[in-house]
Structures are given as C-alpha cells and as structure tokens.
Amino acid sequence: MPTHAVANEPRFLRPKRIATMYGVSLSLVYKAIHDGDLPATKFRDRVWLIEPTSAEAWIRYASGSTLCNCGQWSEYGDRFCASCGQRIGEPGVDAYP
C-alpha cells in the first residue's frame, strides 16, 4: 500500500484495519460508510479505502468530541476550546469536519 512521504504512514486504511485500531466491530465500520458518516472510496467496486484522518474524525465524533476551527479536538462536555478559547457550539465551530 502506498505511504505518505512525510510520516511513512499508509495513505488509506481498509475497514478491517479501522475496526482493529479503534476496537469496534467491522459491521459498525461498514454501517458508518454506508450511512455516510465515515467518508470512504470504493476502489474497483470491491475494496473500501478510508483516509486515516477521516477514521480519526469519525471515531472522535462518535465519542462526543468536537473539532474547533483552530484544528484542535475538544472532549465531550467541554464548553470552550482548550487551544484558542472559542466557545464550542458557536457559529463557525465545526461539529464534524
């Protein structure tokens, strides 16, 4: 599998790898793909490929974390971003990238 030149990490992950990495069932990963919650690309009509950043965003979103515009994740229940101080949930703060 091709790798990133910068970090030598895989450019794409398969559903089974994501399920193993995050300790969720494979059927949950496929459900998230089919529901549109986990962005994925179907390669040659048989292999689903997911970017690692999409997998991380999906699992964080599913666990209740929020991504601030500054690029930092806040934990479930936080009212303000620990990095920039912006109030979570205000206009301009993404709930999910």
SS3 31: helix
**pLDDT (tens place) for every residue of the chain, 97 residues total:** 444 545 677 789 999 999 999 899 999 999 999 999 899 999 888 899 999 989 988 888 777 777 777 777 777 667 777 778 877 665 444 444 4
Taking the domains of the chain in order of start, what are their residue ranges?
1-63, 65-97
The CATH class for the domain spanning 1-63 reads mainly alpha
pTM: 0.64
